[in-house]
Structure 1
Amino acid sequence: MCLGIPVEVLDCGEHFARCRGRDGEVSIDIRLVGAQPPGTWLLCFLDAAREVIPAERAAAVNAALSALSAVNAGETDLSAFFADLEREPQLPEFLRTSRP
Structure 2
Amino acid sequence: MCLGLPMTILETDGVSALCSFAGEERRVSVLLLSNPPVGAKVLVYIDNAVRLLDDEEARLIGEALRGLQAAVNGENCDDFFADLIGREPELPEHLR
Fold in common (TM above 0.5): yes
- How many pairs align? 91
Regions of 4+ moved over 6 Å: none
Alpha-carbon distance in 1 for matches of 2:71, 2:84: 18
1:40 is aligned to: 40
1:57 is aligned to: 57
Identity of aligned residues (%): 31
Alpha-carbon distance in 1 for matches of 2:30, 2:19: 11
**CA offsets per residue over residues 37-84 of structure 1, 9 Å max, x none?**
111100000111011110111110111111111111012x32210233
SS of match in other structure, 1:60: helix
Unpaired stretches in structure 2, ≥5 consecutive residues: 92-96
Unpaired stretches in structure 1, ≥5 consecutive residues: 93-100
TM alignment of 1:76-91, pairs within 5 A: 77-85=76-84, 88-89=87-88
Structure 1 residue 25 and structure 2 residue 25: aligned? Answer: yes
Alpha-carbon distance in 2 for matches of 1:27, 1:18: 4
| TM-score, with structure 2 as normaliser | 0.82
Whether the 8 Å CA contact 1:16–1:27 is kept in 2: the answer is yes
Alpha-carbon distance in 2 for matches of 1:83, 1:66: 13
Residues 1:90 and 1:14: Cα distance change in structure 2 (over 3 Å): closer
Residues 1:17 and 1:60: Cα distance change in structure 2 (over 3 Å): same
Whether the 8 Å CA contact 2:17–2:30 is kept in 1: the answer is yes
